[in-house]
């Protein structure tokens, strides 16, 4: 409860400064959340020229609606919600596919066995034979082959280090769906890394 009060106090103070016209406050909000927004926009929007416009639209929406923010979540989570919804609206207008075939299926056995740790990627035989730089380069390449939704969820969890609840709040998906996407994304990455490493050794 103390941790929640801590971030609420910080968020409330920042919002108060913005609404009172402190010209340094909104750039501070952008600085605090731009990495989160960038991760979502980069993974959800396939056309680079559109990304800057969408990021600008996200912060414009946030500014216009800031007086209605009720501090029921972190301010950054709320910005994440706006980011995800804005990107979804863009993809809907462009009629872009968000998930690959089969990704919406739930596998209860897999969900029960899922361990929420990055170790299920890094402990593979392939990963153990690569140095950190090689593994990072391979991961960057292979993550781009995942669906936009899986890329987004994987990055929110492992790069932004958000909790499952925060990702649920941002995406409006339930816990089991997020867990399933994480499991499937990691499984696909493990397989792709293993296949590529074996192919390169031939």
- Give domain 2-94's CATH architecture: Orthogonal Bundle (1.10)
Structure-token pair, residue 178: 């997020």
* pLDDT of the residue at 130: 54
> 100-157: per-residue pLDDT in tens?
655 544 443 343 333 434 444 445 545 555 555 665 666 777 888 899 999 999 999 9
Task: Say how far apart CA 188 and CA 93 lie, in whole Å.
Answer: 29
4: CB partners within 8 A, 6+ apart? none
Query: Is 166 a residue whose pLDDT tops 70?
Result: yes
What is the tens place of the pLDDT at every residue in 10-64?
Answer: 999 999 999 999 999 999 999 999 999 999 999 999 999 999 999 999 999 999 9
From 7, 21, 19, select the one nearest 72 (Cα to Cα). 7
Structure tokens at 20: 């009172």
Q: What are the backbone angles phi and psi of residue 199, rounded to the nearest 5°?
A: -65, -40
Cα separation of 179 and 175, whole Å? 6
pLDDT confidence of residue 20: 97
Instruction: Give pTM, 2 decimals.
Output: 0.81
- The pLDDT-based confidence of 198 (bands split at 50, 70, 90) is low
Residue spans in the chain of domains classed CATH 1.10.10.10: 108-201
Confidence of residue 2 (pLDDT cuts 50, 70, 90): very low
Tokens of 132: 């950190």
pLDDT at position 147:
93
Phi, psi of 168 (to 5 degrees): -60, -45
Fold designation for 108-201: Arc Repressor Mutant, subunit A (1.10.10)
Q: Range(s) for CATH 1.10.1740.10 in the chain?
A: 2-94
């Amino acid at each position: 409860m103390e941790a929640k009060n801590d971030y609420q106090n910080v968020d409330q103070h920042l919002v108060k400064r913005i609404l009172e016209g402190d010209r340094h406050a909104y750039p501070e909000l952008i600085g605090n959340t731009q990495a989160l927004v960038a991760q979502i926009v980069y993974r959800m929007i396939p056309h680079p020229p559109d990304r800057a416009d969408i990021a600008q639209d996200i912060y414009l929406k946030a500014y216009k609606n800031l007086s209605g923010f009720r501090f029921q979540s972190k301010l950054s989570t709320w910005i994440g919600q706006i980011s995800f919804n804005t990107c979804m609206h863009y993809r809907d207008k462009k009629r872009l596919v968000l998930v690959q075939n089969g990704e919406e299926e739930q596998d209860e056995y897999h969900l029960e066995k899922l361990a929420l740790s990055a170790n299920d990627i890094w402990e593979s035989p392939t990963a153990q034979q690569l140095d950190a730089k090689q593994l990072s380069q391979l991961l960057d390449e292979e993550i781009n082959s995942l669906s936009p939704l899986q890329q987004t969820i994987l990055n929110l969890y492992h790069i932004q280090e958000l909790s499952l609840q925060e990702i649920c709040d941002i995406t409006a998906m339930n816990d089991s769906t997020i867990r399933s996407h994480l499991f499937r994304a990691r499984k696909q990455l493990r397989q792709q890394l293993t296949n590529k490493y074996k192919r390169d050794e031939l």
